[in-house]
A = this chain, B = another copy of it.
Amino acid sequence: MRDVAVVGVGMTKFGEVWEKSLRDLFVEAALAAIDDAGVDHVDYMTVGCMTSGLFVGQEHLASLMADYLGQKHLGACRVESACASGGLAFRTAFTEIASGMSDIVLAGGVEKMTDISGDGATYALAAAADQEYEVFHGATFPGLYALMAVAHMEKYGTTREMLSAVSVKNHNNGSMNPYAQYPFKVTREQVESSVMVASPLRILDCSPITDGGAAVILTTVDIAKKLGKPFIRVIGSGVATDAIALHSRDDLTTLKATKVAAEKAFKMAGKTIKDVDFAEVHDCFTIAEIVVSESLGLFEPGKAGEAVLKGETGLDGSFPINTSGGLKSKGHPVGATGVAQIIELVKQLRGEAENGRQLKTDPRIGMTQNMGGSGGSTLVHILEVG
């Protein structure tokens, strides 16, 4: 297997972007990544997108995006794993290079979520759950994560205050991210007086509906060295699934797909969680960050909430989580999120994170955890300074 590195990153500002279409968002991010890498071509492209079919009536993104990138005959591939589509695009690009099939690959993610009217976005996102056994009966994602939150509170005594602390921390980080949809701080009081969505989750516990694109350029370590620019090695990649429906899981308070994907990535990297300096994880809801942190083995089950409260996962904490602002503050264009997580890792590992959110600990190894639906699929990646 060939060694693979990330040599360029680029993304659009996340937000409610009325003046740009699905293709515009992808191409803007892709060109920024190509510029950053300084490559003069790519051999292959992967496009992560959850459901452009339901959002804007468009599939066949391999063709569309290669075309609009001005690369009509490029080999390309669209992948989907609900909200983990971006992570899957990254893994598929990694494998394409590791196998020797291609040398330089663009891994991009995109979603245009705000063109759909009425409750269309809720219907489209619900396609990540079990249509026949969950959605048909009225379940939506805030409801499913609310079930997890209630179960976690019941089993471990996780509190409202702990959920709020996740939102406050991530908005604090995101306030320093020029690409964030909501780059402002929130207080505990604001979180706890925000409108209720699905008890106990309030609107400031939820990641937003977002338009955005993100892209990275991967290549072999050999080519990366020749480019003469800083590069970041991909040392671990893990993917796993779980029952798509929450009612079929063994336990609501842990995410088994995250556990298994992390085990695979750690095994491949020859590392443990103790070797990792920081992480970007999938905080689609505040409770998700807590459950994910525990499922990754970072904290004992039931202990993550307390750790957030104590600031252990803050910018100056022992294990910073979501320095980018996470999905909560940065925004969550579902197909782009997994790639945007990689971008934050690369920026932190290069020492280039903007506006004072750069970690002062000289981080060497970071990891991403990107999940689909209520945790039915998960991608974990581990990156190390080259």
A-side interface residues toward B, CB under 8 Å? Answer: 1, 21, 44, 50-54, 56-64, 66-67, 71-82, 88, 91-92, 95-96, 98-101, 123-124, 126-132, 135, 237-245, 248, 256-257, 260-261, 264, 372-373, 376-377
Output the least CB separation between A148 and chain B (Å): 16
| Contact (Cβ within 8 A) B100 A66 | no
A243 CA to B80 CA in the complex, in Å? 22
Chain B residues closer than 8 Å to A376, beta-carbon distance = 60, 63-64, 67
| Contact (Cβ within 8 A) A78 B77 | no
| Contact (Cβ within 8 A) A72 B242 | yes
| Contact (Cβ within 8 A) A77 B81 | yes
| Contact (Cβ within 8 A) B63 A242 | yes
| Contact (Cβ within 8 A) B239 A67 | no
Q: Is the interface of A mostly helix, strand, loop or mixed?
A: mixed
| Contact (Cβ within 8 A) B63 A80 | no
A37 CA to B60 CA in the complex, in Å? 31
CB-nearest residue of chain B to A131: B58
Instruction: Sample 10 A-B pairs with CB under 8 A, ordered by A number.
Output: A60-B80, A60-B372, A63-B244, A64-B376, A67-B243, A67-B376, A73-B257, A73-B260, A77-B92, A98-B99
| Contact (Cβ within 8 A) A61 B80 | yes
CB-nearest residue of chain B to A123: B57
| Contact (Cβ within 8 A) A240 B128 | no
A64 CA to B53 CA in the complex, in Å? 18
A248 CA to B66 CA in the complex, in Å? 13
| Contact (Cβ within 8 A) B131 A72 | no
Chain B residues closer than 8 Å to A56, beta-carbon distance = 131
Known A74-B240, A240-B73: A128·B60 in contact at CB below 8 Å:
yes
Given contacts A54-B54, A63-B376, 8 further A-B contacts (CB under 8 A): A44-B239, A63-B241, A63-B244, A64-B376, A67-B243, A79-B80, A80-B80, A95-B95
A95 CA to B51 CA in the complex, in Å? 24
A76 CA to B261 CA in the complex, in Å? 11
CB-nearest residue of chain B to A44: B239
| Contact (Cβ within 8 A) A95 B88 | no
| Contact (Cβ within 8 A) B239 A77 | yes
Chain B residues closer than 8 Å to A52, beta-carbon distance = 127
| Contact (Cβ within 8 A) A241 B66 | yes
Output the least CB separation between A131 and chain B (Å): 4
Chain B residues closer than 8 Å to A131, beta-carbon distance = 56-58
Chain B residues closer than 8 Å to A240, beta-carbon distance = 73-75
Output the least CB separation between A167 and chain B (Å): 26
Q: Which of B1, B128, B243 contacts A59 (CB 8 A)?
A: B128
CB-nearest residue of chain B to A129: B60
Output the least CB separation between A234 and chain B (Å): 12
| Contact (Cβ within 8 A) B78 A59 | no
| Contact (Cβ within 8 A) B59 A127 | yes
Chain B residues closer than 8 Å to A130, beta-carbon distance = 58, 64
Output the least CB separation between A373 and chain B (Å): 5
| Contact (Cβ within 8 A) A80 B57 | no
Known A99-B95, A100-B1, A257-B73: A373·B78 in contact at CB below 8 Å:
no
A323 CA to B93 CA in the complex, in Å? 34
Which of A63, A81, A98, A127 has most chain B Cβ within 10 Å? A63
Which of A56, A81, A92, A237 has most chain B Cβ within 10 Å? A81
A377 CA to B123 CA in the complex, in Å? 29
A351 CA to B129 CA in the complex, in Å? 42
A66 CA to B248 CA in the complex, in Å? 13
| Contact (Cβ within 8 A) A77 B88 | yes
Q: Which of B79, B100, B238 contacts A79 (CB 8 A)?
A: B79
Chain B residues closer than 8 Å to A373, beta-carbon distance = 60, 63
